[in-house]
């Protein structure tokens, strides 16, 4: 099969997967609605009533979507003169029309010839093709996930679907971000090409969320009385992960990497070539002490990979790709993790480009159910790109200047230290920039039980180059700080708006909250007065504890990495000195 045919098949899968997903969901939703209203399509006897029922079914399906008019228009075009009242058949009729539109638009991606004149735009287009493949992958497994639908596992299925659809949407949005600072009009053309696919993915996410809410609401009276949103995890205050901390650490390495030649390989990339495709069990790569100057990518088909080093300051992977030298942000990453169920322990990830080079990513993570324990991520602007899907960080240290933790993953940082470094003279520092674009996305950055402190070089100028907790990179940016020691480097205002071309944005639609923090920078009395700055009570705070936020912690506990799953009132740092 030619490369063009393979690409075309993948583009078609986007349309089929998303629409079929909507079809199945619609069938369930309509089944509930029709049963509750006492009506049944089989009892409709004349054409007018059939058509009216079809219109009602389409409107019902599209009701929770953001792009409702587009949803209804596409579905009604598929209905035509048909008198079917089956929700599944109604949406199936729209397959060909919508799929043709999407396929035609994606075919046009190959004719953006004007970008050849601009290297950064050309790189952005190449990145877009990679991102669209990743987006297709998330839509494919959403499609498969719906086939596993059953009431006994409904909460897990809905959570998976929301995470994966959010990932698909984020990849498409990242494609557009890559064109932001290009001089050609290729970015506008790409936005036109991607609009239909992004709207379809968004609508699918809205439908899944509405269905999830429907099942939650029905639970008390119709589904055997069991709380479908109740954690299957234990709620005791014991940190169970500590008991099994050596579960992976004690495993014999599959391969060893050593710069001095004492291992199986001298480079990490050589070791990665030995990972079986679609691996199902931990493949442990022990990386001995040393500075590894290489760019590492754990690809999508490299699952269950484990990196174990000799410590974050001893085993380090370093690079210096950066935006100023003509590389798009996505491509600057020293290490990129795409394979699901990745585990990194005692590792260091670095981008040494420096503050003057602007965006320079040390680690980009887009692997579902990835875990990092006792690792260091060091850079300046955009150090750690928590791009998509579910990520857990424990006892890690992350350093940087501007937006040095950013992205749209479901990311929890527990007992981690965030070190603000000295920026350029005219720069301010921001710890986080979360990229939740739509309200239905389950993503957020959750910082629990850690430190936010100044690097020794930044400490003398911390009131000159002011530092802030967050700024809203995307419309519904969401970040929560809980039980964290915040030193005096953080300004009383706490947050900055995002400066877009049209002016400051995100103040009213973001979701920023602080709960039970300590330290001089935790005083909320002078915080900015935005609608998006919220106060959490204990019940609301628990929704962002790891077990609730992730809807289960089996994948974390399987690694043996410590994890405190709740938000108990006594969870505090007794030691409030700088952690050097």
Joined together, the tokens standing for residue 326 give 């003509």
Q: Which residues of 11-28 are buried (b: 16+ CB within 10 A; e: fewer)?
A: bbbbbbbbbbbbbbbbbb
Joined together, the tokens standing for residue 72 give 């209804």
CA distance 329 to 332: 5
Domains contained in the chain, CATH given? 50-217 (1.20.140.40), 248-558 (2.160.20.10)
- Supply the pLDDT for residue 261: 93
Count of CB atoms within 10 A of residue 406's CB? 29
Q: Which residues of 362-394 are buried (b: 16+ CB within 10 A; e: fewer)?
A: bbbbbbbbbbbbbbbbbbbbbbbbbbbbbbbbb
- pLDDT tens sequence across 334-344: 999 999 999 99
CA distance 388 to 174: 10
Give 168's contacts (C-beta < 8 A, 6+ positions apart). 135, 136, 138, 139, 142, 201
Query: Which percentage of the chain shows pLDDT scores above 70?
Result: 73
**Alpha helices (runs of H) in 410-549, residue ranges in sequence order:** 538-542, 546-549
For the chain, 580 residues long, give each residue's pLDDT as a single digit of tens: 455 555 555 554 555 455 555 555 555 554 544 444 444 544 545 666 666 776 777 787 788 888 888 878 777 766 666 555 555 454 444 334 434 454 556 666 665 656 666 777 788 888 888 888 888 788 778 767 766 666 667 788 889 989 998 998 999 899 888 887 776 677 777 788 888 778 888 887 887 888 788 776 665 444 333 333 333 333 333 343 333 445 677 789 999 999 999 999 999 999 999 999 878 899 999 999 999 999 999 999 999 999 999 999 999 999 999 999 999 999 999 999 999 999 999 999 999 999 999 999 999 999 999 999 999 999 999 999 999 999 999 999 999 999 999 999 999 999 999 999 999 999 999 999 999 999 999 999 999 999 999 999 999 999 999 999 999 999 999 999 999 999 999 999 999 999 887 889 999 999 999 999 999 999 999 999 999 999 998 889 999 999 999 988 999 999 999 988 877 554 444 444 444 4
Joined together, the tokens standing for residue 23 give 């079809």
Strands 498-500 and 503-505: antiparallel
Cα distance between the two ends of the chain: 57
Listed residue (127, 109, 130, 131) closest to 119, CA to CA: 127
Listed residue (385, 366, 379) closest to 419, CA to CA: 379
Catalytic residues, by residue number, are 403
Supply the pTM of this predicted model.
0.87
Burial (CB < 10 A; 0-12, 13-18, 19+), residue 87, is buried
Give me Rg for the CA atoms of the chain.
24
């Amino acid at each position: 099969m030619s490369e063009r045919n393979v690409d075309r098949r993948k583009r078609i899968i986007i349309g089929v997967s998303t629409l079929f997903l909507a079809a199945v969901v619609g069938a369930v939703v309509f089944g509930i609605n029709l049963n509750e209203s006492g009506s049944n399509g089989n009892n409709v006897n004349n054409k007018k009533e059939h058509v009216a029922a079809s219109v009602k079914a389409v409107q019902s399906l599209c009701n929770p979507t953001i792009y409702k008019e587009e949803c209804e228009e596409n579905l009604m075009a598929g209905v035509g003169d048909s008198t079917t009242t089956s929700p599944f058949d109604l949406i199936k009729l729209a397959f060909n029309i919508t799929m043709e539109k999407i396929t035609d638009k994606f075919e046009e991606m190959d004719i953006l010839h004007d970008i050849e004149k601009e290297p950064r735009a050309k790189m952005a287009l190449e990145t877009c093709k990679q991102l669209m493949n990743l987006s297709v992958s998330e839509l494919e497994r959403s499609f498969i996930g719906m086939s596993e639908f059953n009431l006994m596992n409904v909460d897990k299925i809905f959570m998976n679907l929301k995470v994966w659809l959010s990932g698909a949407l984020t990849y498409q949005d990242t494609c557009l971000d890559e064109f932001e600072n290009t001089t050609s009009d290729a970015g506008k053309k790409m936005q036109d090409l991607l609009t239909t696919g992004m709207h379809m993915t968004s609508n699918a996410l809205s439908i899944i969320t509405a269905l999830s809410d429907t099942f939650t609401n029905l639970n008390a009276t119709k589904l055997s009385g069991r709380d479908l949103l109740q954690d299957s995890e234990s709620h005791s205050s014991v940190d169970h992960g500590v008991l099994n901390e050596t579960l992976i650490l004690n495993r014999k390495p599959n391969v060893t990497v050593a710069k001095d030649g004492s291992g199986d390989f001298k480079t990490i990339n050589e070791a990665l070539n030995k990972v079986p495709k679609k691996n199902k069990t931990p493949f442990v790569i022990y990386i001995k002490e040393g500075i590894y100057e290489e760019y590492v990518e754990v690809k999508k088909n490299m699952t269950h990979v484990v990196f174990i080093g000799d410590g974050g300051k001893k085993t380090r992977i370093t690079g210096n790709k950066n935006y100023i030298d003509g590389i798009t942000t996505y491509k600057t990453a020293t290490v990129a993790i795409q394979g699901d169920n990745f585990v990194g322990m005692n590792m260091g990830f670095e981008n040494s480009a420096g503050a003057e080079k602007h965006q320079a990513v040390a680690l980009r993570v887009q692997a579902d159910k990835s875990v990092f324990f006792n690792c260091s991520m060091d850079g300046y602007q955009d150090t750690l790109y928590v791009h998509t899907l579910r990520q857990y960080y424990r006892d890690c240290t992350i350093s940087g200047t501007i937006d040095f933790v950013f992205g749209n993953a479901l990311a929890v940082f527990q007992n981690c230290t965030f070190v603000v470094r000295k920026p350029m003279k005219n720069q301010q520092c921001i710890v986080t920039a979360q990229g939740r674009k739509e309200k239905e996305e389950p993503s957020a950055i959750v910082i629990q039980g850690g430190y936010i402190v100044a690097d020794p070089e930044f400490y003398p100028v911390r009131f000159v180059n002011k530092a802030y907790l967050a700024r809203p990179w995307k419309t519904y940016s969401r970040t929560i700080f809980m039980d964290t020691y915040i030193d005096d480097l953080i300004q009383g205002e706490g947050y900055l708006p995002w400066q877009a071309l049209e002016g400051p944005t995100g103040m009213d639609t973001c979701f920023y909250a602080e709960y039970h923090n300590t330290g001089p920078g935790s005083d909320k009395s002078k915080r900015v007065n935005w609608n998006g700055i919220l106060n959490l009570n204990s019940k609301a705070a628990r929704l962002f504890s790891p077990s609730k936020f992730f809807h289960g912690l089996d994948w974390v506990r399987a690694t043996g990495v410590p994890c405190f799953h709740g938000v108990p009132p006594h969870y505090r740092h007794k030691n409030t000195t700088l952690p050097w």
